[in-house]
């Protein structure tokens, strides 16, 4: 870390790819294929810059991959996997991830700021 408290580029940890595919190709082919597509997006992203105002492509791959891994129900996992597999290319896959990132993460950020606002103004 620099003396003024700011981070230097060499202090920032490198992004790590998703964990290995835990879904069996024989028992859960759709889940396996969708998760594999997310891991390929991570490696496709190397050296590519997303459009301004967008999340990085590696973040997109991790968000989609973790949606597949952490879906609370099989039905939910099936739905996410179908959305992933229906994307025509990596750009479409990144746009799908952007939708989830700005919807879910944005909603969490809004609620966080709202709670602070509510405390300050005693709402």
Question: What is 89-110 written as a DSSP string?
Answer: SHHHHHHHHHHHIIIIIHHHHH
Under 8 Å between Cβ of 96 and 53: no
Centre a 10 Å sphere on the Cβ of residue 69 and count the other Cβ atoms it contains. Answer: 17
Angle at 81 between CA 75 and CA 85, to 5 degrees: 145
The Cα–Cα gap between 123 and 121 comes to 6
Name residues of the chain where pLDDT drops below 50.
Answer: 1-2, 4, 6-9, 11-13, 113-114, 117, 120, 123
Structure confidence at residue 119 (pLDDT): 52
């Amino acid at each position: 870390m620099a003396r003024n408290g700011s981070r230097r580029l060499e202090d920032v940890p490198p992004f790590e790819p998703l964990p290995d595919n835990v879904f069996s190709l024989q028992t859960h082919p759709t889940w396996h294929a969708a998760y594999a597509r997310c891991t390929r997006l991570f490696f496709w992203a190397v050296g590519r810059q997303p459009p301004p105002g967008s999340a990085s492509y590696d973040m997109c791959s991790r968000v989609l991959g973790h949606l597949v891994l952490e879906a609370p129900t099989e039905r939910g996992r099936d739905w996410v996997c179908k959305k992933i597999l229906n994307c025509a290319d990596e750009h479409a896959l990144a746009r799908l991830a952007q939708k989830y990132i700005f919807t879910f993460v944005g909603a969490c950020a809004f609620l966080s700021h709202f709670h602070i606002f509510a405390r300050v103004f005693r709402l």
